[in-house]
């Protein structure tokens, strides 16, 4: 190899190194993105298995509340409602916020109770057959909204304590001109 040949080979080699180096710089700047550790908003994800689990008990995971409603602590229910107040008002004629106003909701038709509110397709489909907000429906929904009505827009994890649901639903019931009768009465 004479020196001229050698120079050519060396130049080719340097050229290749340069090309690779600049390519990697470039692709770094194109493909590198700062992925935030947390998404901008939280999506309440269902934990646990996603179907296919045949060993799960058939009944609902939450305790029925009908028998307990008579002993609901209304003041405690009002306190529980603080968790809901960022999205809901309860007063008669109250505004819709992220969620619909909840005046007279107990006994109302699911997914169309509040005429001016834009409900999700999921909750509308759920209530299409004329289902109403019975104590049992509210109990299941408040226990874990996204499990009870898959695809609901209500971004709330749920009230796991039976006591909280009893007190809250007992309190919610009173916000109506004609409260739905207590179970068994
Ligand atoms: C982050 C906002 C948010 C929070 C917190 C929240 N909700 Fe909701 N809620 C919604 C939205 C949005 C809807 C409408 C759901 C849909 O369209 O799928 C809704 C729907 C409802 C409904 C059905 C109303 C109707 O007109 O049919 C009830 C009842 C309800 N929420 C009660 C509660 C209670 C009680 C709490 C607290 C334990 C609560 N929500 C917490 C946003 C929220």
Report the candidate in 175, 18, 166 with the shortest Cα–Cα distance to residue 88.
175
**Max mean pLDDT range (18-27, 38-47, 51-60, 145-154):** 145-154
Measured from the Cα of 159, ligand 1's closest atom is 38
Among the atoms of ligand 1, which is closest to the Cα of residue 84? 37
Handedness of CA 43, 102, 61, 131 (dihedral sign): negative
Model confidence at 45: pLDDT above 60: no
Confidence of residue 184 (pLDDT cuts 50, 70, 90): confident
96, pLDDT greater than 90: yes
Ligand 1 center to residue 48 CA distance, Å? Answer: 23
Structure tokens at 128: 């299409």
Q: Please answer whether residues 144 and 159 qualify as being in contact, where contact means their C-beta atoms are separated by less than 8 angstroms.
A: no
- Predicted pLDDT of residue 60: 74
Nearest-CA residue for ligand 1 atom 34 is 84
CA 140 to CA 113: how far, in whole Å? Answer: 18
Distance 151 CA to ligand 1 centre (A): 13
Give the separation between CA 143 and CA 161, rounded to whole angstroms. Answer: 8
Ligand 1 pocket: which of 89, 99, 148, 166 to mutate (most atoms <8 Å of CB)? 99
What is the mean predicted confidence (pLDDT) over 23-46?
A: 56
Query: For position 166, what pLDDT does the model report?
Result: 98
Residue 159's pLDDT is 98
Cβ contact 44:154 at 8 Å: no
Question: How many beta carbons lie within 10 A of that of residue 153, not counting itself?
Answer: 15
- Band (pLDDT 50/70/90 cuts) for residue 25 is low
Please report the pLDDT score of residue 69 as a whole number: 97
């Amino acid at each position: 190899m004479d020196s001229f040949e050698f120079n050519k080979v060396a130049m080719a080699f340097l050229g290749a190194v340069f090309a690779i180096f600049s390519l990697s710089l470039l692709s770094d700047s194109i493909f590198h993105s700062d992925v935030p550790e947390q998404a901008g908003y939280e999506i309440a994800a269902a934990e646990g298995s996603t179907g296919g689990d045949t060993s799960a008990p058939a009944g609902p995971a939450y305790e029925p509340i009908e028998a307990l409603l008579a002993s609901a602590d209304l003041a405690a229910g009002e306190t529980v409602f603080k968790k809901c107040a960022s999205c809901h008002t309860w007063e008669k004629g109250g505004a819709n916020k992220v969620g619909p106003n909840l005046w007279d909701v107990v006994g109302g038709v699911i997914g169309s109770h509040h005429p001016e509110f834009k409900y999700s397709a999921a909750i509308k489909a759920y209530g299409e057959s004329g289902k109403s907000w019975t104590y049992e429906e509210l109990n299941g929904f408040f226990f874990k909204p996204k499990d009870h009505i898959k695809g609901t827009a209500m971004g709330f994890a749920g009230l796991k304590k039976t006591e909280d649901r009893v007190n809250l639903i007992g309190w919610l019931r009173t916000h109506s001109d004609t409260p739905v009768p207590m179970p068994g009465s």
